[in-house]
Amino acid sequence: MPDPRSTPVRILIVDDHPVVLAGLTSMLGTQAGIEVVGSAAGGEEALDILRLKPADLVLLDLRMPGMNGIDTLHALKRAKINVRVIILTSFETDEDIYRAVQAGAQGYLLKDAPQSDMIEAIWAVHAGRRYFPRHIASRLAERMMRTSLSARELEVLVLIARGLTNKEIGSALQISGNTVRNHVNSIIDKLEVADRTEAATTAIHRGIIDIG
């Protein structure tokens, strides 16, 4: 098998913060065997660049206006653009990590990770492996073991977090009080929490729902 380091790994950096783009471009540009082929401020721009200028690997921010990181991963698949992706973000909720991996990311790093970790991740992913720091891998494993909430349960959970009673949730979703109660009990079981209040706070903390 050929050594993946025998030719430069071509990297596209995608982040909506100019300072982050400049810092990463400068830092990676000094590394032997790494070539930064471009940078983009969002998912749409990244797709346009990749259609014209192939890259081996994308460092992709998760939270961006317009097309976010998860949307970009899905768009890359639809466009059949063959590139490996490392998520580079400030966010590490269980759901962020899980959704990124489900969408096709091969690596996940926080922006405050040491430079040595970033270089290690780039070469590992470029070689066809996955790269997740130990604490990220542990949280991903725990999240994948939990039963996913159904679409209806997520709707109920959002309304719980907004302070609605079971009766109010039933009216909002046009379902009976008994059905709401069954959904609430199922949510509590799946999230392994004590009550509806803890279910809401846990879901927000893990990034399962966003009531912003």
- Kindly state whether residues 22 and 82 are assigned to the same domain: yes
Same domain, 58 and 81: yes
CATH number at residue 160: 1.10.10.10
Distance of alpha carbon 173 from alpha carbon 164, whole angstroms: 12
Mark whether 51 and 124 lie in a shared domain. Answer: yes
Please state, in angstroms and rounded to a whole number, the distance separating the CA atoms of residues 21 and 27: 10
Task: Note the pLDDT of residue 140.
Answer: 84
**Lowest mean pLDDT across 37-41, 74-78, 103-107, 203-207:** 203-207
- What is the C-alpha to C-alpha distance for residues 129 and 19, in angstroms, rounded to an integer? 29
The answer to whether 110 touches 89, Cβ cutoff 8 Å, is yes
Same domain, 46 and 90: yes
Q: List the domain range (segments joined by +) for residue 160.
A: 151-206
* pLDDT band for position 1 (cuts 50, 70, 90): very low
Domain count, the chain: 2
Is 202 part of any domain?
A: yes
3-state secondary structure 93-116: CHHHHHHHHHCCCCEEEECCCCHH
Separation CA 129–CA 151 (nearest Å): 32
Domain co-membership, 135 together with 155: no
Question: Do 111 and 183 share a domain, yes or no?
Answer: no
Phi-psi region of 106 (alpha: psi -120 to 50; beta: other; left: phi over 0): alpha
Residues in contact with 142: Cβ distance below 8 Å, sequence separation at least 6, in sequence order: 94
- Can you tell me the mean pLDDT for 202-207? 84
Domain presence at residue 88: yes
Q: Which residue, of 144, 162, 195, is where some domain finishes?
A: 144
Tokens of 73: 């991963």
Domain CATH code at residue 139 = 3.40.50.2300
Condensed to tens digits (0 to 9), the pLDDT of residues 125-178 reads: 999 999 998 888 888 887 775 667 888 999 999 999 999 999 999 999 999 999
The answer to whether residues 128 and 177 belong to one domain is no
Q: Report whether pLDDT(212) > 80.
A: no
For the stretch 3-41, pLDDT in tens is: 556 688 999 999 999 999 999 999 998 999 999 999 999
| Inter-residue contact 83 to 73 (CB < 8 Å) | no
Q: Which residues contact 63 (CB under 8 A, 6 or more apart)?
A: 69, 89, 90, 91
Task: Report the pLDDT value the prediction gives residue 199, as an integer from 0 to 100.
Answer: 94
- Bridge partners of 57, per DSSP, are 11, 84
Cα separation, 184 vs 11, in Å, equals 46
Same domain for 197 and 118: no
161 and 111 assigned to the same domain: no
Same domain membership, residue 69 and residue 17: yes
pLDDT at residue 11, as a whole number: 97
- Rounded mean pLDDT, 43-64: 94
User: Is residue 212, in this structure, part of any structural domain at all?
Assistant: no
Residues 84 and 160 reside in one and the same domain: no
* Predicted model pTM: 0.71
Encode pLDDT of 90-134 as tens digits: 887 778 888 899 899 999 999 889 999 999 999 999 999 999 988
pLDDT confidence band for 60 (50 / 70 / 90): very high
